[in-house]
């Protein structure tokens, strides 16, 4: 079984922070394991602390479904009751905001990564760049 | 190191209450530090108690981003999913209501201040008057 | 009906802070109305922010029962199940820590006051001194 | 104004992980700012995920009081009611477990650091080594 290592999580985190730095947008980057639990987190200087929970939530959500949060938003379109119930049950950890991607190794979801601090598209671009840099 | 002192927080609180008094609108005024934690709060006679949490939330939000809540509302225009995520993750503390301003000293955010009880514009006017009176 | 005014709440708050200052112990002082809702709060420079919620909780508890928190601890001695259920139901706001006193006017409870930051006895002494100074 | 930077937080995190690695004990290392909000986190391979919240809690607690958690345990000795109150009010974030230290710059607390995964003494040794390596 392939697992997510701290070394790999930190490479992803650093790569994401570098892209956010180039964009000039301070972000929080979170990487979680397949259980949705934090492995690595970095909050850049100037990143609003309230978004830390959002970054963790997006990585958590992507890991839990093995699907990008942006796709989940489309999948659950119109199912407000359902998504609200998950949000309440997870104390707000579950979210459909763009910018959370699953980490997949040999077809298996091993975790999730997310950035938070910019627009949804900026957050997503940062995470995609990190995955590309570390593949 | 510049920190927000209780003395300064109380001056701001009193100045805000005086302006609200002149307006004839009972308000709650909250001042938080850079971590979003309460330093000073005053609820004027007749101010609805449910708005107390709103005042704290607006100060918390302005402190966390270092940006007036009214500007955040413009920045996050149309990003309902995103703002709902933060609201849920912070158990409703995060808010985009007008009337929360960051407290900035030498270019650094040291906290936030907000008033709640009137219209958004009245709340904002009260907080602006407090900042002007104590600068 | 006699109500708690902001003016009176702020006098109590200031008197408590003065005593704490003389003791050399930075504290948070909270005054709530008869519904347990904040009217006045002051966190002195150097007071740990986690204790802010404790001060509010002690004032809330004293106001809700119209009894000092120290006496409640004796009244509820051995009733762990009961007190735990109140703590959970109030999300931790209810507490039996020493240092919360009801504010009573003409035999009616109009609110509560508490200090937090020292030992239970120090907190209680500060609140008692405030009541004595403002009676 | 001296603030905790991500660069410094990551140096501390890496130094702590290295010491834990040498000990052969997988740990989670958390660094928070003065408001108790996460700046950097690393969970080593094999570290139990339930301890992640403990590491965050110890760093949060040390930052909030500006005192090592081990000293707080001594200070609050016998005050079960009091410490339970804070634990409940902070939803379990507050803790007296050994291994959380404040980060102090020029006499001001700027944050906290903690490790979790070993015994209390091991956790503390790891954090102390990190502070020594980065001073």
User: Consecutive 10-residue runs of chain C (135 residues): their mean pLDDT?
Assistant: 86 98 97 95 95 94 94 88 83 88 93 95 97 93
Please choose, from the candidates B77, D92, C55, the residue with its C-alpha nearest in 3D space to the C-alpha of residue A91.
D92
Residue D110 token pair: 């700027």
| Residue pLDDT, tens place only, B105-114 | 888 899 999 9
pLDDT of residue B2: 55
C–D interface: beta-carbon pairs under 8 A: 51
pLDDT of residue B1: 42
* Interface contact flag, B81 A87, Cβ < 8 Å: no
Q: Distance (Å) from the C-alpha of residue D5 to the closest C-alpha of chain B? A: 14
pLDDT category at A2 given cuts 50, 70, 90 is low
Q: Which residues of A touch B65 (CB under 8 A)?
A: 48, 50
pLDDT of residue B91: 81
| Residue pLDDT, tens place only, B2-45 | 589 999 999 999 999 999 999 999 999 999 999 999 999 999 99
* Interface contact flag, C49 D35, Cβ < 8 Å: yes
Q: Distance (Å) from the C-alpha of residue C87 to the closest C-alpha of chain D? A: 8
Q: Indicate the residue of A48, A73, A93 with minimum beta-carbon distance to B81.
A: A73
What CA–CA distance (Å, rounded) separates D13 from D31?
A: 7
Query: Tokens 């990487």 appear where?
Result: A31
| Residue pLDDT, tens place only, D53-104 | 999 999 999 999 999 999 998 988 888 878 888 887 788 889 999 999 999 9
pLDDT of residue D1: 43
User: Residues 68 to 127 of A: which have CB under 8 A from any B CB?
Assistant: 73, 87-88, 91-93, 95-98, 119-120
Q: Is pLDDT at A53 greater than 50 in this prediction?
A: yes
Q: Indicate the residue of C6, C42, C49 with minimum beta-carbon distance to B40.
A: C42
pLDDT of residue B37: 95
> Do A45 and D42 meet the contact criterion of CB atoms below 8 Å apart?
no
pLDDT, mean of residues A87-93: 82
B37 in contact with chain A, both atoms CB, cutoff 8 A: no
Number of H-type helices and E-type strands within chain A: 5, 4
| Residue pLDDT, tens place only, B37-54 | 999 999 999 999 888 999
* Interface contact flag, B91 A87, Cβ < 8 Å: no
What CA–CA distance (Å, rounded) separates B91 from B103?
A: 23
Q: Which residues of B touch A97 (CB under 8 A)?
A: 81-82, 85
pLDDT category at B89 given cuts 50, 70, 90 is confident
Q: Which of A3, A21, A34, A38 should one mutate to test binding to chain D, selecting the residue with the greatest count of D CBs within 10 A? A: A38
pLDDT category at A36 given cuts 50, 70, 90 is very high
Q: Indicate the residue of A35, A43, A49 with minimum beta-carbon distance to D6.
A: A43
Q: Which residues of C touch B35 (CB under 8 A)?
A: 49
Q: Indicate the residue of D1, D35, D37 with minimum beta-carbon distance to B106.
A: D1
Percentage of chain A with pLDDT > 70?
99
Nearest chain B residue to D110 by CA distance is: B1
Report DSSP state, residue D82: H
pLDDT of residue C2: 60
User: Residues 50 to 69 of D: which have CB under 8 A from any C CB?
Assistant: 60-61, 64-66
Establish how many alpha carbons lie within 13 A of residue C4's alpha carbon, considering only the half-sphere containing its beta carbon: 30
DSSP string, C57-87: HHHHHHHHHTS-HHHHHHHTTT-HHHHHHHH
Any bridge partners for residue D108, and if so which? D105
* Interface contact flag, A42 D5, Cβ < 8 Å: no
Please choose, from the candidates B67, B69, B74, B39, the residue with its C-alpha nearest in 3D space to the C-alpha of residue B54.
B69
Establish how many alpha carbons lie within 13 A of residue C81's alpha carbon, considering only the half-sphere containing its beta carbon: 0
What CA–CA distance (Å, rounded) separates C44 from C54?
A: 14
What CA–CA distance (Å, rounded) separates C32 from C60?
A: 6
Q: Which residues of D touch B37 (CB under 8 A)?
A: 35
Q: Which of B4, B33, B35, B61 should one mutate to test binding to chain D, selecting the residue with the greatest count of D CBs within 10 A? A: B35
What's the mean per-residue pLDDT of chain D? 92
Q: Which residues of B touch A57 (CB under 8 A)?
A: 85, 89
pLDDT of residue B54: 92
Pairing assessment for the beta strands C100-105 and C108-116 based on DSSP bridges: antiparallel
pLDDT of residue A77: 87
| Residue pLDDT, tens place only, D44-62 | 999 998 889 999 999 999 9
Q: Which residues of D touch B1 (CB under 8 A)?
A: 1-2, 105-106, 108
Query: If DSSP codes are grouped into helix, strand and coil, which group holds residue A26?
Result: coil
| Residue pLDDT, tens place only, A54-85 | 999 999 999 999 999 999 988 988 888 888 88
Establish how many alpha carbons lie within 13 A of residue D59's alpha carbon, considering only the half-sphere containing its beta carbon: 33
What CA–CA distance (Å, rounded) separates A13 from A4?
A: 13
What CA–CA distance (Å, rounded) separates D107 from C73?
A: 38
ipTM of this complex prediction, to 2 decimal places: 0.92
What's the mean per-residue pLDDT of chain A? 93
| Chains with ≥3 CB–CB distances under 8 Å to D | A, B, C
B–D interface: beta-carbon pairs under 8 A: 21
Expressed in angstroms, the distance from the first to the final Cα of chain A is: 18
In angstroms, what CA-CA distances link B12 with A37, A98, B18, D43? Answer: 41, 39, 10, 42
In angstroms, what CA-CA distances link C87 with A1, C114, D62, D81, D89? Answer: 43, 17, 24, 12, 9
What CA–CA distance (Å, rounded) separates D16 from D8?
A: 12
pLDDT category at B76 given cuts 50, 70, 90 is confident
pTM of the complete model: 0.88
Q: Distance (Å) from the C-alpha of residue C81 to the closest C-alpha of chain B? A: 27
Query: If DSSP codes are grouped into helix, strand and coil, which group holds residue D22?
Result: helix
* Interface contact flag, D90 C93, Cβ < 8 Å: no
D39 in contact with chain A, both atoms CB, cutoff 8 A: yes
Q: Quickly list H helices, chain B.
A: 6-23, 50-65, 69-75, 80-89, 120-134
In angstroms, what CA-CA distances link D27 with B58, D10, D94, D111? Answer: 37, 15, 19, 20
């Amino acid at each position: 079984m392939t697992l997510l290592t701290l070394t790999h999580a930190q490479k992803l985190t650093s790569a994401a922070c570098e892209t956010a730095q180039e964009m000039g947008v301070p972000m929080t980057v979170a990487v979680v394991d397949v259980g949705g639990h934090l492995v690595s987190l970095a909050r850049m200087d100037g990143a609003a602390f309230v978004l830390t929970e959002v970054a963790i939530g997006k990585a958590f959500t992507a890991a839990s479904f093995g699907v990008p949060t942006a796709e989940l938003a489309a999948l659950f379109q119109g199912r407000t009751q359902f998504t609200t119930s998950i949000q309440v049950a997870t104390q707000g950890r579950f979210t459909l905001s763009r910018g959370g991607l699953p980490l997949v190794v040999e077809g298996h979801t091993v975790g999730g990564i997310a950035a938070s601090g910019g627009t949804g598209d900026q957050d997503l671009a940062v995470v995609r760049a990190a995955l590309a840099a570390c593949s």
